[in-house]
Amino acid sequence: MKSLFLGFAAAVSIASAHVAAQAQEPFKLGTFERAGQPFVGIVLRDSVVIDFAAANAAVGAPASRVAAPTDMKDLIARYDQGLRARIQEIVRTVPAGGAANWPAYAYPIGAVRTLPPIMYPTTMLNAALNYREHALEMAGLNSGPPALAGSAPPPGMATPTTVSAPGIWERSPTDDRWNPYMFLKSASSVIADGEGVRLPVGRNRIDSECELTVVIGRPASRVPLAQANDYVFGYTIELDVSDRGGRGDERYGSDWLIGKSHDTFAPMGPFIVPKEFVSDPRNLAVSYVINGELFQEANTSLMIHDVFEQVVYASNILTLRPGDVIATGTPAGVGSARNPPVFLEPGDLSVCTYEGIGTLTNPVVAPTSR
């Protein structure tokens, strides 16, 4: 049982934001391209994209004096400094119904190209083995056969020698979980919804993991747990693609660069859902389908360390900035843990869905010759 709980202040913050969201039409945010020009867009009903800058210039209201965002990082940084109110004004100008009723700055989603929502995060962090069942299925792959019953705690549980990491992660006396574990992933691996995951030349053990991703809203350093939600802007999805083929020797253990940061190994999006429209990120259904076959089906309530604890842990190591992201781990069901293993092949179609956040869809394509 968890020994760290979300503080009262954070719980009140989540509830208040959710209540406030009910008074307005929900929206998502993304980055798009039309006629060769990128723009920050407001997404309504998963079918309408509003060009924020064009709408800001066209819609007259007191908040029109707020400058339109230059990119998604700028929007996130100024969201609570007038941009949220401006978005709400603009949203009210786009009625439901067909495109004939929309103003000139609104487009059907199929008429624009979807880009990665953040181009690009300064810092991308990923949580490793943050669901017990996933930790269990990977134990045999990474460390030989699982420990015999009674000889060691199961994956996810702390060993008897586990202690706090001073200044980074303080354990309570009743915390029976292992400590959080994170790694950096290169932002150069980010691609958009609909873009192809390109298999690397000569690599044939490519795996994929469907992950809820926290988007940071303001500079975060040494964040207390009770205030962690205040530093979250919203949520998106990352497909954490992995090269399980290794580096050819065993120096220094896992090679996270080879394993996680090949080009195209971080599909992200399709959009960002501001946190006020997510009732509880600790209770979202997840499903991951490849070629129509269900690989992963779980709930974020099964995380070992929840999204807020991960913000705390990461911010005790480095300062997180607006637009930085934390991919919060994946549940059981990855292809490499199957018997026999299932790895990605050209022609595969990956479909990763989180309840209330959206669906990230990416084809898998063959390597390019060099």
Co-location of 101 and 194 in the same domain: no
Half-sphere exposure of 274 (CA within 13 A, CB side): 24
User: In the listed set 90, 115, 140, which residue is the last one of a domain according to the structure?
Assistant: 115
User: In the listed set 57, 90, 115, which residue is the last one of a domain according to the structure?
Assistant: 115
Co-location of 98 and 159 in the same domain: no
Q: Are 194 and 362 in contact (CB under 8 A)?
A: yes
**pLDDT digit of tens for each residue in the chain (370 aa)?**
344 444 444 444 554 444 444 458 999 999 999 999 999 999 999 999 999 999 999 998 665 679 999 999 999 999 999 999 999 999 999 998 888 889 999 999 999 999 999 999 999 999 999 999 999 998 865 544 444 445 678 899 999 999 999 999 999 999 999 999 999 999 999 999 999 999 999 999 999 999 999 999 999 999 999 999 999 999 999 999 999 999 998 788 779 999 999 999 999 999 999 999 999 999 999 999 999 999 999 999 999 999 999 999 999 999 999 999 999 999 999 999 999 999 999 999 999 999 999 999 999 999 987 6
Asked if residue 159 is part of any domain, the answer here is yes
Co-location of 174 and 109 in the same domain: no
Asked if residue 183 is part of any domain, the answer here is yes
* Residue 256: burial class (beta carbons within 10 Å; 0-12, 13-18, 19+): middle
Q: What is the dihedral of CA 137, 143, 146, 150, to 10 degrees?
A: -130
User: In the listed set 52, 81, 115, which residue is the last one of a domain according to the structure?
Assistant: 115
**What is the Cα–Cα distance from 67 to 5, expressed in whole angstroms?**
39
Phi-psi region of 135 (alpha: psi -120 to 50; beta: other; left: phi over 0): alpha
pLDDT for res 150: 53
Co-location of 33 and 137 in the same domain: no
pLDDT for res 3: 41
What are the residues whose beta carbons fall under 8 Å from the beta carbon of 233, sequence distance 6 or more?
Answer: 76, 79, 215, 216, 217, 218, 272, 274, 275, 322
Co-location of 20 and 154 in the same domain: no
**What is the Cα–Cα distance from 366 to 264, expressed in whole angstroms?**
12
Q: How many CB atoms lie within 10 A of CB 228?
A: 25
Co-location of 110 and 132 in the same domain: no
Could you tell me the two tokens for 367? 């390597």
Co-location of 43 and 97 in the same domain: yes
Do the strands 206-216 and 232-243 form a parallel or antiparallel pair, or are they unpaired?
Answer: antiparallel
Q: Are 292 and 204 in contact (CB under 8 A)?
A: no
Co-location of 204 and 312 in the same domain: yes
- The structure's pTM equals 0.90
pLDDT for res 370: 60
**What is the Cα–Cα distance from 258 to 336, expressed in whole angstroms?**
16
Q: Are 313 and 130 in contact (CB under 8 A)?
A: no
Q: Are 228 and 262 in contact (CB under 8 A)?
A: no
Could you tell me the two tokens for 197? 């995951």
Co-location of 75 and 145 in the same domain: no
Co-location of 44 and 176 in the same domain: no
Domain count, the chain: 2
Which structural domain range is residue 345 located in?
124-365
Asked if residue 1 is part of any domain, the answer here is no
Co-location of 95 and 143 in the same domain: no
Q: Which CATH number characterizes residue 267's domain?
A: 3.90.850.10
**What is the Cα–Cα distance from 67 to 152, expressed in whole angstroms?**
58
What are the residues whose beta carbons fall under 8 Å from the beta carbon of 20, sequence distance 6 or more?
Answer: 276
Q: Are 48 and 94 in contact (CB under 8 A)?
A: yes
Asked if residue 287 is part of any domain, the answer here is yes
Co-location of 26 and 94 in the same domain: yes
